[in-house]
Every structure is written in C-alpha cells, then in structure tokens.
Homo-oligomer: A and B are copies of this chain.
C-alpha cells in the first residue's frame, strides 16, 4: 500500500488554504472575498466557513502555516550555531541564509499584507510579530548567550546583540523590500559582500576583548 491518502475534508482544507493564500497575496485582504476563495478552491462558501469560521480566521491560519514553513527550520539552524568552533565563518553562513530568506518574494508579500492590515486586524500583526521576528530574535539571543558563556563572544546583553546582528544583516534590505519589492533589492545588493560587511561590524562590537582587533 502507498501512504494513506488524506481524508476528503482534510484535502478540502488544504485546497482552501492554498487558494486563499494565493488570492490574499495577490489582491490583499480587502481585495479578496470568501466567494472568490470558494470559487478558486472549487468548494462552496459554506465549506469555507465550516473549516475556518470567517475570512479573518482563514487569513490567520494561512499566515500561521506560512511562518511555520519558513521560520521553524531556520530556528534549528540558529540553535546549531551555538556549538560552532568558528564563529565568524558560521555567523556568515547563517547571515547569508537569513538575508536570502527574508528577500523571497512570498515573504515580502506576506509582510506587506500583514502590515497593511495592522490597524484593522491587530491580532494578525501580533501573531506575525510573535511567530516571525520575535521568535527569530529570541533564538539569536539564546545562541549569543551560549557563545558568551563559551567565551567566543562578549555579549552580556544577548537580546540587544541579537537585534544588532539581525538589523546589521537584514535591516536595510527588509525595509527597502517592503517599499520596492524583493527582486529589486536582490538586484541592487551583492548579498555575500553585504553579509561580510555586517558580520565584520558585529564582531568588532561583540568579539571578546582579548581578540579585539
């Protein structure tokens, strides 16, 4: 036997999520109706409501799913960094992956969508902030506190060090992408050079004194 197929209901749920995600990211929250999502998923409007309650619940489920898929794997990579034997080399690898990840066009579009709805749907903006930036920063902070304990960084305030690292690497690009789009930013920056420059400044500020250059 092959792996068991999803039940009919679970399949419909996934189809609705996928249709909703595509429509919300293309047309925005206000520009998307439950009718359109139902039509695109080839289910009835009642089926959408049965699975998700209302349009806002559906959007929350979509954002949660998208963040689970993109943020969670990266947290494992940050955790592994705490065991590095070569801080500079491994920070550089993680930083490059981080910058490339946040510039992916679906990630940029999701941020735009959530920010644009932050006044009308504050619960969505809070969910996003907790699940994405806050979790990532907390993972970096824990990693840097471990590297501090191991004597590889001097970061007595690891939460601030995490914010400095994150925004030295992604700050300019993530901000510009919100306005101009991910592809335009990727075309305007040499990611490897940019990451090296950010890691250099971070280490100048957080290298243990004995090693300070």
Q: Is the CB of B164 within 8 A of A168?
A: yes
- The majority secondary structure among interface residues of chain A is helix
Does A179 lie at the interface of the complex (its beta carbon under 8 Å from any beta carbon of B)? yes
Contact check, A133 vs B175: say whether CB atoms are below 8 A apart: yes
The smallest beta-carbon distance between A91 and chain B, in angstroms, is 14
Whether A118 is near chain B, meaning CB under 8 Å from some CB there, is yes
Q: What B residues does A194 contact at CB under 8 A?
A: 160
Complex contacts, A160 vs chain B, CB 8 Å: 194, 197
Residue of B nearest to A127 (CB): B179
Select which of B28, B117, B174 is within 8 A of A175 by beta carbon.
Answer: B174
The smallest C-beta distance from A192 to any residue of chain B, in angstroms, reads 13
Within 8 A of B (CB), among A1-42: 28, 30-31
Distance between A119 CB and nearest chain B CB, rounded to angstroms: 7
Q: Which of A78-86, A93-101, A145-153, A205-213 contacts B (4 or more CB under 8 A)?
A: A205-213
Q: How far is the CB of A197 from chain B (nearest CB, A)?
A: 5
Contact with B along A115-129 (1 / 0, CB 8 A): 111111000011011
> Interface size for chain A: under 10, 10 to 19, 20 to 34, or 35 or more residues?
35 or more
Binding site for B on A (CB under 8 A): 28, 30-31, 109, 111-120, 125-126, 128-129, 133, 137, 157, 160, 163-164, 166-168, 171-172, 174-176, 178-181, 194, 197-198, 200-202, 204-206, 212-213
Name the B residues within 8 Å of A171 (CB-CB): 163, 166-168, 171, 175
A-B contact pairs, 22 of them (CB 8 A): A28-B120, A30-B31, A112-B116, A113-B116, A115-B178, A115-B179, A125-B180, A129-B176, A129-B179, A129-B180, A160-B197, A163-B172, A164-B201, A166-B171, A167-B168, A168-B168, A174-B175, A201-B205, A204-B204, A204-B205, A205-B205, A212-B212
